[in-house]
Amino acid sequence: MVARPAGSNLTIDGERLWSSLMRLAEIGATPKGGVCRLALTEVDKAARDLFVEWCREAGCSIQIDELGNIFARREGKHPNALPIVTGSHIDSQPTGGKFDGAYGVLAGLEVVRTLNDAGFETDAPIEIVVWTNEEGSRFAPAMMASGAFAGAFDADWVRSREDPDGITFAAALDAIGYAGTSAVGDHAIGAYIETHIEQGPILEAEEKTVGVVTGAQGQRWYEITVTGQEAHAGPTPMARRRDALVGSSRIIDAVNRIGFDFQPSACATVGMIECRPNSRNTIPGEVMFTVDFRHPVEDRLGQMDEVLRTTSADISAELGLDLVVEEIWHFPAAPFADVCVDAVRASAMHSGFEHMDIVSGAGHDACYVARVAPTGMIFVPCADGISHNEIESAEPDDVAAGCQVLVEAMVRLANESGSTNQE
């Protein structure tokens, strides 16, 4: 736990933060109240320009790397200390909302403005980052530039990615004038804290204002194919059947049970199923279905994998079915650093907000940053857990609360690390 109540006299301006959010949401606003601000478009440029303008007004210096990631810096007492960084993204889904990404960026701006208003000098520098193309809607995959920052993707490969019209990432980045010169990833970070709406229903259901994010779930995706014997439903006795759908149904139920058996925090979902020949009076000969496993602890995710394989094999053997379990994707769990999680939790307690530990079910830039720097996240509730939707909504008080926790956590980290964590 962090003991020092540093920054306890700092109070963010919730109305200013909300006003900035609403102003940014005008850029790419949709008739239904959402935002369409695809990465590296003219509206993305306009939003970036506004952000940079606000940061310069707040006294920040701006650095942009080769993939368009923007770092806005407020100096600390020890300019050679590694910066304490916050931020997120300002691109959106085609039918996105006002808060996804924008909240994390503008909460960072509000932190800087609050420090300025109080004349508060942190030991380590404070930075706000805008990560390019988090959504992946125009250029796949998602979290592309934070992934490259963390070494998961090669910068040239990222630049070569094309949108549906054949325009490359590099050409689009040049067109909006946001291609910097510094190599992506050549920017050491002392600690990273990202605020975000939860994009899930937990905080709302638990009536908590702040989620102390302890990590991002690991994900393992599978395609399972069960093969039996196609036969007529009428004259084929039960005992002679090899029904691929009966076996698949038992495995699907087992997948759900695995989700419950690996609580807390496990998720296990079969979202897609295809049955062949899919005829009312024919015993199914082949069924394919998908499995989506998530868990914040990589070892537990590995155990879920083992139980899935063992259970599927047992069920198939009992029914005389053939089984193929193919893992098609594995994103390892990203537990966040104790120093960051503790700073967030201590700040939430100090601020007096109802809070709880929570795991991120969705992907965020923080999930990649966690590979190269101590990382944490702060969640606030969103209405009905809905995001990636124009009706995405959050309460001003909750948005302000997350930002208040952010400023306290960043100051704790900046003043802890500022004198020791030298670049």
To the nearest whole angstrom, how small is the minimum distance from the Cβ of residue 226 to a second copy?
12
User: Of 284 and 402, which has the nearer Cβ to a second copy?
Assistant: 284
To the nearest whole angstrom, how small is the minimum distance from the Cβ of residue 10 to a second copy?
30
To the nearest whole angstrom, how small is the minimum distance from the Cβ of residue 202 to a second copy?
6
To the nearest whole angstrom, how small is the minimum distance from the Cβ of residue 163 to a second copy?
22
Give, to the nearest 10 degrees, the angle between helix 396-417 and helix 102-118. Answer: 60
Give, to the nearest 10 degrees, the angle between helix 42-57 and helix 14-24. Answer: 150
User: Of 180 and 201, which has the nearer Cβ to a second copy?
Assistant: 201
Strand partners, 357: 212
C-beta of residue 146 within 8 angstroms of C-beta of residue 369: yes
Tokens found for residue 211: 């989620």
**DSSP E strand boundaries for 122-272:** 126-130, 191-197, 210-216, 218-227, 231-232, 267-269
To the nearest whole angstrom, how small is the minimum distance from the Cβ of residue 382 to a second copy?
10
Distance set, CA 397 to CA 105, 204, 379, 401 (Å): 17, 13, 13, 6
What residues make contact with a second copy under the rule CB under 8 A? 198-202, 205, 217, 219, 221, 231-240, 243, 245-246, 248-250, 252-253, 256, 259-260, 263, 266-273, 275, 278-284, 290, 292, 294, 360-363, 385
User: Of 21 and 197, which has the nearer Cβ to a second copy?
Assistant: 197
C-beta of residue 254 within 8 angstroms of C-beta of residue 325: no
User: Of 276 and 309, which has the nearer Cβ to a second copy?
Assistant: 276
User: Of 56 and 240, which has the nearer Cβ to a second copy?
Assistant: 240
C-beta of residue 302 within 8 angstroms of C-beta of residue 195: no
To the nearest whole angstrom, how small is the minimum distance from the Cβ of residue 275 to a second copy?
5
CA distance 159 to 163: 11
To the nearest whole angstrom, how small is the minimum distance from the Cβ of residue 39 to a second copy?
21
Pick from 255, 254, 242: nearest CA to 319: 242
**DSSP E strand boundaries for 258-297:** 267-269, 273-276, 282-283, 286-295
User: Of 66 and 243, which has the nearer Cβ to a second copy?
Assistant: 243
User: Of 30 and 249, which has the nearer Cβ to a second copy?
Assistant: 249
User: Of 10 and 231, which has the nearer Cβ to a second copy?
Assistant: 231
To the nearest whole angstrom, how small is the minimum distance from the Cβ of residue 233 to a second copy?
4
To the nearest whole angstrom, how small is the minimum distance from the Cβ of residue 333 to a second copy?
13
User: Of 256 and 310, which has the nearer Cβ to a second copy?
Assistant: 256
User: Of 83 and 335, which has the nearer Cβ to a second copy?
Assistant: 335
To the nearest whole angstrom, how small is the minimum distance from the Cβ of residue 196 to a second copy?
11
Residue with tokens 């769990």: 333
Tokens found for residue 293: 């496993």
CA distance 423 to 417: 11
Residue with tokens 């063992």: 310
Q: Return the C-alpha torsion angle 238, 241, 245, 248, nearest 10.
A: 100
Number of helical (H) and strand (E) elements in the chain, helices listed first: 12, 16
Pick from 144, 150, 117: nearest CA to 9: 117
